[in-house]
Structure formats: C-alpha cells, structure tokens
Chain A
Amino acid sequence: MLYAILCYHDEDTVGSWSREHEDAVMAKLAVVQEKFDAQGRLGPVARLLPTTAATTLRKDGDPPLVIDGPFAETKEQLLGFYIIEATGLDDALEAARELGRANPGGSYEIRPVGLFRPGSVAT
C-alpha cells in the first residue's frame, strides 16, 4: 500500500536554521531516503518553497478567486511530502519515525494514498 508522509513544521523555525544545520539535516535525511530507495519503496519526494511563494485559488465562487498566500493560516505549514510503499500503518509509521529521527521537530501526517499516477514530468 502507498502512503503519503506529509511534513508539517513551523516554517519560521525552519527558516531560522543555520546553513550548517540545514546541510546536516538534509544529509541525514538523504541517508534514510537512499535506504528506502534501495529497498524499492520510495516514491516521489518533494520539498515545497515557503508559503510566501504560495497562491490560492478559491473555487467556490464564479469566477474563482485568486488569493496570495497558502490555503490556511496555520501555526505549522505543509513544507513537503514523501510517497512510500509500506505493508501497513505500522510499517508506514516506522518509516516516518526513521525520517523523524533524521529531522526532529514538527509533525508528519501519514495518509494512505487512494490514487497514484507517477505522471510524465521529467526530473
């Protein structure tokens, strides 16, 4: 079963990391991701730019309204996501814990994936 691991954290705090700290966290995360990759269970991984770069399209009006900023003003923001293959929730949680040990702070939301198309974007 595929799971999305949605990464939430206070982007102000993440934005206050020193460059060394940022590099150290990314290096630790890379080790975990490479392990998942070698096991053939790692899907797309995305890190999102800060919410200041976000634009929201509200579709409940006609015409839809374009609003600067993220969909919701929350204390912690959606900063990125992983798609991983796991045998079940326990397995997905274990994968999330492993990522969390490399990058503590904030929260991961683990969501089973209903429909998945890898798409055609070349990276």
Chain B
Amino acid sequence: MTDLAWIDAALTSARPQALGALLRYFRDLDTAEEAYQNACLRALRTWPQNGPPRDATAWLILVARNSGIDDARRRGKQQALPPDEAISDIDDAESELAERLDGSHYRDDILRLLFICCHPDLQPTQQIALALRIVSGLGLKQIARAFLVSEAAMEQRITRAKAAVAKAGVPFETPGAVERSERLAAVAAMIYLIFNEGYSASGEAIGSRTPLCDEAIRLARLLLRLFAAEPEIMGLLSLMLLQHARVAARYDADGGIVLLDDQDRGRWNRQMIAEGMALIDKAMRHRRSGPYQVQAAIAALHSGAAHPGETDWTQIELLYRTLEVQQPSPVVTLNRAVAVSKVQGPQAALDLIAPLGRRLDGYFNYHGVRGALLLQLGRTREAHEAFDRAIALAGTTAEAAHIRMHIDRLMADCTAATTAPGLK
C-alpha cells in the first residue's frame, strides 16, 4: 500500500469525529472545516516523513485546533504561524487529548454533526449534499456529478444549506435521552436518503451514484458503533447491506435495472449478505420492531432464497402487513399486493390494490403491477391499457424501454402460469 492511500483512508475515517469535536470547539461550521482542512494538509506533509501518529484522529483534532486558534489570532494581531516542526512533537498532548476523546463527548459530537445536516428547514437534496460534503468530505465535483448538476450549482446549494443551518442555530447542549433518540431517527432517515440516491440510479448515472450506497453504509456503521444497542440502526445497516449486496446483478449491459426474479443470484455479494443477516438477527433479539428492521427482514428472506421459487412469500406478506401498520403508505400496500399474488393468486392482489387507484394513479409501478395481475387473469385488453399507462408515466426512456421489455416477456409466457413483476 502506498503511503498516500493509507493517509487518505485515515483522513476519511477520522473526519466525522474530528470535525464533530472541532465544531463543538469553534461552534462554527466553516471555521471547523477550514481548520480540519489545514490539519489534513499538514498530515500530508509530515506523515510520509515522520510516520503516522499513534492516534491519527487526536493528532488531527489537536493540529486543527491550533491552526484555527492561530488563524483567529492572525486575523486579530497579524501574528505569524508557527512552523510545522513546532507542532510535530505533540506526543504527550496527543495522548492526553486521546484520553479525553474516549469519554462520552465524541458520541454526541458525531451525532450533532450528522444532525445539523438533516435540519428540518433543509430540503432532502440539501440534507444529502450537506452530509456528503461535511461529514463524508466528498469533493464538490463528485457530489455535483452524482446529482447531475454543475459544480457551481452544487456549491451554491451547499452554501445556502450552510447559511440556513447557521441561521437556525446549532444545538450545542448535550441532548437528553428523548432528544437523542429523535436526532438518531432523523439521522437514520437522512442516511437512508443518501443510500437511495445511489440505489435508484440507472443508466449512465450508475458509476457516479453507486458510491453513495457505500458512503451511506459507512455512515450507518459509524452510527451503530456509537449506538451499539439500537435495533433500528442495526436494521438500517442490515437493510442497506442486503440491498447493496445485489448491485453486481441489478443492472444489465445497458444499465437497465434487472428485477429480483431475473437476477443472477451467483453474483450477489455473499459477505455483505452474511453481515446483513447477522445484523437483523441481532436486532430482532431486542423485540423492538421498527420499519428498518421489517424491511431488512423482507430483504433477508429474498437473500436467503437460492432461487426465486424458494422465496417465502407467506412470511414476506406478513412482514408487509407489519410495515403497513408501522408506516402506512399506498406503496407499501402495493408491495404487499405482489406478495399476496404469490400466496393467494392474482385476484386477491387485484382486490387489494383496487382502492389505491386514486392515490397511485400517477405512479408507473402501480400500473405495471396491475397490468401483470390482469394478464395473469387473462384480461389481456385491460392489461394492455395498464401497461400503456405505466410506459407513459415512466420517468425516463430507459425506464419505459425496460417496462416494455418486461411486458413483452410477460405476454410471451402468459399462457403458462406467470408471476407478477417482482420487487427491485
């Protein structure tokens, strides 16, 4: 491994904790970021020669803090910065600081840092952009590419988000138990948003957006390390691992999405599945169910089936019932209908989704599922109408082409017993 690769990984992994501590110290996001940036530059200069410090995070916090204080002084008195050598011998101070870092502070530091990124005044896209910039330290160029906007537009979006956060005020007091769990829930939702930005990519956007899934998983691991006994955080991490494990099988050569039933299961990432299964297993021991755990359990049932035919649809249907109670939404009911069609047949599923028509009329997947169910019942003309509607509503031409391909195949083998389109 080259020195630079090691340093890069160390700087990335230290960032949330270091920035969280600096934010508590300086109480200003820009100052904290600039100070951390300076510390990283010094690390790149001195670590290759002096070797890595024993505690990289403590080193970075200390150096960044000194640099921030120096900057403030310089602005005040025009005083010169101390040379690099003056701060290279900080061993004693480092261990003393590391001692203090092991305390309870840093848990809340990182949570606060993540929490200010999901301030309710911010739009979801602003939340994601801010978190990727501040917490993950991704470059503007990379974030802009993932959102298909120019760097200038992304910079403006982040600047606006920062201004909104500064105006709203950052909560610095140590949170109470209730507030902490509210913050945790908001942060979990934001992490899942990041994941879905990556997961929903198709076509040309796959290359630039799939890394967002890895980043979301990294953030969830970080969060779970801090809150080791939170079953919903275990559920969130499990859900993302189980979904992301399919990434190599989820796209065809043109970047179109391959449905679950059609995926080459040999290309699923077994290690990620093992970790996801272990986590949902752990979470369920707590007997405190929640939407992430239920969704992870559904994903786990899909992952555990060697062939689509082995899928335990009865159990999946029950889990969707639970999810409907915990998080009522017509889309959840639509997903349950797919499970119902596998267990009780197409008519029962069709009856279930009939009342959703008004609310989901603009959702292409609703018409896709409905069309497939009608086709299974031999109501070909109605099925065609539903499919045409789905194609008309598809967001992209790739999506429309994909639906059309799927329909062609359904039509081809509709004489045999067919299946409804599965979940992605």
Across chains A and B, the number of contacting residue pairs, with CB separation under 8 Å, is 61
Tell me if B13 and A10 are in contact (CB < 8 A): yes
Could you tell me the distance in whole angstroms from the C-beta of B399 to the nearest C-beta in chain A?
27
Contact (Cβ within 8 A) B278 A49: yes
Q: A59-86 vs B: 1/0 string, CB under 8 Å?
A: 0000000111100000100000000000
Residue B55 is within 8 A (CB to CB) of chain A in the complex: yes
Using Cβ atoms and an 8 Å threshold, which residues of chain B touch A43?
Answer: none
Within 8 A of B (CB), among A2-24: 10, 12-19, 21, 24
One of A17, A52, A104, A105 near B279 (C-beta < 8 A): A52
User: Please, which residues of chain B bring their CB within 8 A of the CB of A53?
Assistant: 275, 278-279, 282
A14 to B6, CA, bound (A): 9
Q: Which residues in window 12-30 of B have CB below 8 A to A?
A: 12-14
Q: Identify B13's interface contact among A15, A51, A67, CB under 8 A.
A: A15
**Residue on B nearest A51 in the bound complex, by CB:** B225
With contacts A12-B13, A68-B229 taken as known, whether A50 is within 8 angstroms of B221 at the C-beta atoms is yes
Residues of B within 8 A of A12 (CB): 13-14, 222, 225
Q: Which residue of the partner chain, among B224, B225, B274, contacts A49 with CB atoms under 8 Å?
A: B274
Q: For the complex, would chain B's binding face be called helix, strand, loop or mixed by DSSP majority?
A: helix
Contact of B1 among A15, A16, A105 (CB under 8 A): A105
**In the complex, how many residues of chain B place their beta carbon closer than 8 angstroms to a beta carbon of chain A?**
26
Pairwise interchain contact A21-B275, C-beta atoms closer than 8 A: no
Residues of B within 8 A of A19 (CB): 214
Cα A104 to Cα B7 in complex, Å, equals 12
Whether B166 is near chain A, meaning CB under 8 Å from some CB there, is: no
Chain A residues positioned under 8 Å from B237 (CB to CB): 52
**7 A-B interface contacts by CB (under 8 A):** A19-B214, A50-B221, A52-B221, A53-B278, A53-B282, A66-B285, A68-B228
